[in-house]
Amino acid sequence: METRVCIETWGCQMNLHQSEGMAGALAKAGYAIVETLDQADVVIFNGCMVRQKAEEKVFGRVGAVVEEKRKRPVLLGIGGCMGQIHGEALLKRLASVDFVFGSSGHQALPGLIERARSGRIAELSEPVFDTESTARRRSQVSGMVTITEGCSNFCTYCIVPYARGPMRSRPKDLILKEVEQLCAADYREVLLLGQNVNSYGTDQSAHGDFAGLLTDVARTGIARIRFTTAHPKDMSETVFRVMEREANVCHHLHLAFQSGSDDVLRAMNRGYDRNHYLSIVEMGREILPDLNITTDLIVGFPGETDADFEATMDLIERIRFGSIFAAKYSLRPLTRGGELPDDVPVAVKEERLERVLLRQRAIALEENGCFIGHEVEVLIVGMTRKGVLYGRADDHRTVMCQGDASVGDYVTVHVEGSSTSSLSGGILVREKPGGKI
């Protein structure tokens, strides 16, 4: 009988894609991948450490596995960034954990599971790029492709350099080979992944730079290309020019600003100031007037004053982001943030976060409302539980679609409504056979 494995994932798209790699490696070794832990003989938690809340969610799920262990033999493994940071300490803290692994080397998982049957074990491997992609992809429409791993910026608040190691560019030939495989398998879109995709090649000049890689990926013929996440200090005009020139590169940029205050940005070790960020936005929108910019920010960083926070709110007003991923600051182990007093009261952090979210919802509603009466091209990526098709516009906005189409189709939608999170409308045109509209 096949050993059944359930993988649960928390965190970023890098984690989601690495879970696809885990599933592929395990399936290749003869394991059966199942969707729920009550079906599984082995449960794997691919955990996140970026924020304390994400870490707590993983610990909260351990109890469900303990309940299953009371009924039958089940192995529990914890890996990803959480396994990399905590290592053997997880075995000491949680008697229910059978094996621990890190943020890379997932091709070795089958062997680790077999060894865990004989005794609890923790193994952290050196980071490597796999020469062959064995990802068991959850989507048959959009394929994630890693182009960089790790980060060398050491922002004061961030655990990524400790969890994933220094920034490493993946060889270009491996990237292009994977994209070409996705093209051959009729994938409609690729999402290029990295902690800082536009830092590609800065560690090894032989790889070229991100603008060159983006051009080469565009010329594989894949219908649509997205990328995330970009870092402001490495964003250049050449990337915007590629986005302008290559029709299959989407006009969306996720560009984290984290704070609108120069004092806070300096304390965060972000490597740019407010004016530099604004100049990037101005350049991008001059070259690509329809550019949708989304972002990340932190409220309540140590030392953040009312004036610092108002500078963040002012930046939100001036730029008018498509969406914002905002979070309250929480101290992460190993980071230099531990040297700073966490001196912003919890109540103040919560009030500031609520102000950001309320204002952003209003801005998003206003910006999305500008699309009513217009037509947008949409890639259908799924269907809601109520049977409504949804997809992504070129600029990454979610569009709810009424009409005749299938997942994977490109359609033209006449926008008739909008909300804080999406557009909606009727399908006017479905793609012609063999290509985009």
What are the extents of the domains in the chain? Answer: 4-123, 142-369, 375-430
Mean pLDDT, range 232-244, rounded to an integer = 97
The phi and psi torsions of 44 (rounded to 5 degrees) equal -120, 125
Query: What letter would DSSP give residue 186?
Result: T
Percent of the chain with pLDDT over 70: 97
Q: How far apart are CA 416 and CA 376, in angstroms?
A: 11
Which band of pLDDT confidence, cut at 50, 70 and 90, is reported for residue 205? confident
What are the tens digits of pLDDT across the range 59-72? 999 999 999 999 99
User: Cβ distance 239 to 198 under 8 Å?
Assistant: yes
User: Cβ distance 229 to 195 under 8 Å?
Assistant: yes
Provide the token pair at 389. 């098709």
Q: For the sheet containing 189-193, what is the strand order?
A: 142-146, 189-193, 224-228
Instruction: Judge whether residue 436 has pLDDT over 60.
Output: no
Whole-model pTM: value is 0.94
User: Cβ distance 202 to 166 under 8 Å?
Assistant: no
Mean pLDDT, range 179-201, rounded to an integer = 96
50: which strand partners? none
Closest CA to 119 of 103, 104, 97, 101: 97
What are the tens digits of pLDDT across the range 399-423? 999 999 999 999 999 999 999 999 9
CA 380 remoteness from chain centre = 20
Which band of pLDDT confidence, cut at 50, 70 and 90, is reported for residue 133? low
- The contacts of residue 23 (CB under 8 Å, 6+ apart) are 5, 7, 33, 135, 136
User: Cβ distance 227 to 214 under 8 Å?
Assistant: yes
The predicted pLDDT at position 328 comes to: 96
Confirm whether 4-123 and 375-430 share one CATH topology: no
Does the structural domain 4-123 have CATH classification 3.40.50.12160? Answer: yes
Burial of 246 (0-12, 13-18, 19+ CB in 10 A): middle
The predicted pLDDT at position 128 comes to: 67
Looking from the CA of 186 toward its CB, the CA atoms found within 13 Å total: 8
The phi and psi torsions of 416 (rounded to 5 degrees) equal -115, -15
Q: How far apart are CA 323 and CA 44, in angstroms?
A: 31
The number of beta carbons lying within 10 Å of the beta carbon of residue 288 is: 19
What are the tens digits of pLDDT across the range 26-58? 999 999 999 999 999 999 999 999 888 889 999
Q: Which CATH topology does 375-430 take?
A: OB fold (Dihydrolipoamide Acetyltransferase, E2P) (2.40.50)
Mean pLDDT, range 74-102, rounded to an integer = 95
Mean pLDDT, range 216-233, rounded to an integer = 96
The phi and psi torsions of 112 (rounded to 5 degrees) equal -65, -40
What are the tens digits of pLDDT across the range 248-273? 999 999 999 999 999 999 999 999 99
Q: Looking at domain 142-369, which CATH architecture does it have?
A: Alpha-Beta Horseshoe (3.80)
Checking DSSP bridges between strand 410-418 and strand 224-228, what pairing results, if any? unpaired
Mean pLDDT, range 146-171, rounded to an integer = 94
Whether the bond into 156 is cis, omega within 30 of 0 = no
Which tops the pLDDT comparison, 434 or 95? 95
Mean pLDDT, range 239-245, rounded to an integer = 98
Mean residue pLDDT of the chain comes to: 94
What are the tens digits of pLDDT across the range 322-381? 999 999 999 999 999 988 999 999 999 999 999 999 999 999 999 999 999 999 999 999
253: which strand partners? 293
The predicted pLDDT at position 361 comes to: 98
Instruction: Judge whether residue 434 has pLDDT over 70.
Output: no
Q: What angle do CA 137, 138, 142 make, to 5 degrees?
A: 75
Closest CA to 176 of 240, 238, 133, 230: 133
Instruction: Judge whether residue 433 has pLDDT over 70.
Output: no
Q: What is the dihedral of CA 141, 321, 385, 51, to 10 degrees?
A: 90
What are the tens digits of pLDDT across the range 283-302? 999 999 999 999 999 999 99
79: which strand partners? 46
426: which strand partners? 402, 414
